Amino acid sequence: MSELPLDLVLLSTPIGALGSGRGGGVELTLTSLMQGLAERGHRLTLIAADGSCLPAGCEAVDLVTLPGADQPSWQHAAEDAPVVIPRSGLLASMLAEALKRAPAADAVLNFGYDWLPLWTTPWVSVPLFHLISMGDVAAVMRDAIESLARWDQRRLAFHTRRQAADFQLPSPARVVGNGFDLGRYELRLATDGPLGWAGRIAPEKGLEDAAAAAAALGERLLVWGLREDPSYAEAVEAGVPAGTIDWRGFLPTHELQRDLGRCRALINTPKWNEAYGNVVVEALACGVPVVAYDRGGPGELIRSGETGWLVPPDDRQALVEALDRVGQIDRRCCRSWVEDNATRAVFSGRVERWIRDGLVEDASISAQH
């Protein structure tokens, strides 16, 4: 007998409106998953910030938007940073709205990486699930994730094994990867294009290393992304010869993939443990090989010698040498890997299975309520 559709409340990132780009990779993840779950026949309600808009393919989703102050991001937090909840904060109001609607639903799925939803989970009867979008960035968040895992690890899922390894978990992590609408990415086979880099323009993304590698080759580097830290962007540009960096800004997917697909290679240079690596997969979907530091999620996604090259973290010379070898990569293999591992159908199926497994009654957990 086929399983009945789920009724799910989705809790968006509390950092910016969906569609603004301020939520970083979480926006792409949420968009892809909504589309995939909708295609699978599930009923969805999205709680998001004012100004959010539904992506194509999600017309049946019930969108509820709320005003409030953005939650500070944990991405730049110190190890001992405290929890901060702004006055009239968006996170608290979004969580309250989700919990209010939850009794009529099967579960709530939270996409925001923050302490409050994690801490709340054991204290409410509502099944609250969390797709963890970052690795270990601060002690208080690490404690919250590990504490929830000890209570019921079924409520947590991660994008990659490397991300999950940041945390002390009692059982092997539930890894769901990520997913993309491959109809939006065109395979390009030309191998004589420029070099590219994409991501938020912020120190943990390591743009300065990619710029230095391009400069060493005497080439221009196309850069796409939101300038989250303008002073950092200026410093990176000042550190290489004039004209090395060609700023392309933050582009919607259809424009990004069109320009990115013309690149000879994408350079990926994270200075921290990336949870996944959306731009890596977007490049591969276009047939673009990726040269990346063997760190975090990208190091788990790239098959060195088949879909790109992995090099030791922070080794700029190794980047240069690997970029000289990207012509050895068959661009069709890059696309094939995405088709097998990272479509939105594959992703939404994994997430659905995770939630269904987590909804199975556990007597030991029920006894704690």
> For the chain, how big is the Rg over CA atoms in Å?
20
The residue type of 268 is N
Q: What is the 3-state secondary structure (H, E, C) of 275-330?
A: CCCHHHHHHHHCCCCEEEECCHHHHHHCCECCCEEEECCCCHHHHHHHHCCHHHCC
Q: Do 214 and 198 contact (CB within 8 A), yes or no?
A: no
CB atoms within 10 A of CB 194: 15
At residue 365, the pLDDT reads 53
Residue pLDDT, tens place only, 85-117: 999 999 999 999 999 999 999 999 999 999 999
Contact 247, 291 (CB under 8 A): no
DSSP string, 134-145: S----HHHHHHH
User: Which tokens in the block code for residue 128?
Assistant: 């609250």
Q: pLDDT tens string for the chain (369 positions)? A: 468 999 999 999 999 999 887 877 898 899 999 999 999 999 999 999 999 999 888 999 999 999 999 999 998 889 999 999 999 999 999 999 999 999 999 999 999 999 999 999 999 999 999 999 999 999 999 999 999 999 999 999 999 999 999 999 999 999 999 999 999 999 999 999 999 999 989 999 999 999 999 999 999 999 999 888 899 999 999 999 999 999 999 888 889 999 999 999 999 999 988 899 999 999 999 999 999 999 999 999 999 999 999 999 999 999 999 999 999 999 999 999 999 999 999 999 999 999 999 999 654 455 454
Which H or E element spans position 129?
strand 128-132
pLDDT at 362: 54
Give SS3 for 10. strand
Terminal-residue alpha carbon distance, the chain: 32
Distance CA(351)–CA(338), nearest Å, equals 17
List the structure tokens of 156: 């947590």
Token pair listed for 272: 């921290």
Residue-wise DSSP of 62-125: EEEEE--BPPPPSTT--TTPPP---TTBHHHHHHHHHHHHGGGSSEEEE----HHHHHHGGGSS
Domains, the chain, in order of start with CATH, read: 7-179+343-366 (3.40.50.2000), 183-341 (3.40.50.2000)
